[in-house]
Chains A and B, each alone.
Chain A
């Protein structure tokens, strides 16, 4: 058991340090480690974990927590979660302090200015790739576009649009 926990910690701590772009960007590497290298899960079991963790709120990285849970219960959940969080969060902390410390330097200001349009483009890209995964008929495309319009035009909580989308898609079961 202890050996398994140590192995979970080692695998996910290493993943944490290379996971630029978060869980979706390193998904292929997570699958390779969990299914191929360590042999912890079959491919269908891994697909289930992916589906469940995307149905839950929170950062997509909680997929790793769920893998830990399925491998070793509560201890596995905690070890996997801490292993994926601590390295990258420590790095972010140090980088954040460095940026704050040199905040008056021209290069830090330029970096922060320069990253604004980059962040915008990457959010747009993740919207598109989520649509490619989620939308497979006219109804779901319409739900995505209507939700986007709701967010652009309204300051209200987007949860209203999401719940409506789910309800509409359940209702369409009646007509298919």
Chain B
């Protein structure tokens, strides 16, 4: 066992209202992509899952079709409250963003040409990019992957981030490699 969480791995129950409100918050905060915000709320703020459990759920969400965080919401909802939990997580995650995006769509025509609006959006987008980058680095520091596991991370990063190869291809090649690496090291 060489990948380890930082000791905070409470296997606790999470109630229906708590699930819904948690995902409502994730949806509302989820600027620039949901994963870092989901991690902030689920791991850091409410401690529903340990760092490693969260990464594992997100990894499963990633290899399935659909947004990784939406799949993660399905898995987390089912884990704590079954089918009802799934629906609560999905509705919670989507409700506010849907209202906001249609409002923005209506407002956009009027305010798109205001320089301050454009500059603010660009600044926020740059911040959101940094948020994703920082979240990945923070997770690596917490999980302390072994050298072979870190090699898998770097291969995935290089293939998708630098070479910009199609994700399905990368997944098909790297999942067997990642599982083989875990098996050879006896990580499970």
Where the two chains meet, the residues of A that have a C-beta atom closer than 8 Å to any C-beta of B are 16-23, 25, 48-49, 51-62, 65-66, 69-70, 77, 81, 85, 87-89, 91-93, 95-97, 99-100, 106-107, 109-131, 133-135, 140-141, 143-152, 155, 157-159, 161-170, 172-173
Contacts and interface: CB of A to CB of B under 8 A. Distances in A.
A172 B56 CA distance: 41
A118 B37 CA distance: 19
Given A96-B78, A126-B132, A89 B59 contact: no
A153 B151 CA distance: 24
A165 B119 CA distance: 10
Q: Classify the interface of chain B: helix, strand, loop or mixed.
A: helix
Contacts of A123: 35-36, 58, 132, 135-136, 139
B134 A148 contact: yes
5 contacts: A77-B98, A95-B64, A113-B3, A127-B161, A162-B31
Interface of B: 3, 27-37, 40, 44, 52, 55-56, 58-71, 74-75, 78-79, 83, 86, 90, 93-94, 96-98, 100-102, 104-105, 108, 112, 115-116, 119-141, 143, 145, 149-150, 152-157, 159-162, 164, 166-168, 171, 174-175, 178-183, 187-188
A97 B86 CA distance: 12
Nearest to A131: B129
Given A114-B178, A116-B149, A164-B127, A152 B134 contact: yes
A57 to B, nearest CB: 4
Contacts of A48: 108, 112
Contacts of A129: 160-161, 164
Contacts, number: 380
A23 B138 CA distance: 24
A114 B32 contact: no
Given A162-B31, A173-B116, A121 B133 contact: no
Given A144-B129, A147-B134, A166-B123, A66 B101 contact: yes
B130 A62 contact: no
A165 B105 CA distance: 23
A110 B168 CA distance: 20
Given A59-B93, A114-B181, A173-B119, A143 B127 contact: yes
Contacts of A155: 44
A158 B36 contact: yes
A110 B124 contact: no
Given A55-B121, A55-B124, A129-B161, 20 more contacts: A19-B65, A53-B101, A54-B125, A69-B105, A85-B94, A89-B74, A95-B64, A100-B78, A110-B179, A113-B187, A117-B152, A123-B136, A130-B129, A131-B126, A148-B137, A151-B138, A161-B127, A161-B131, A165-B123, A169-B120
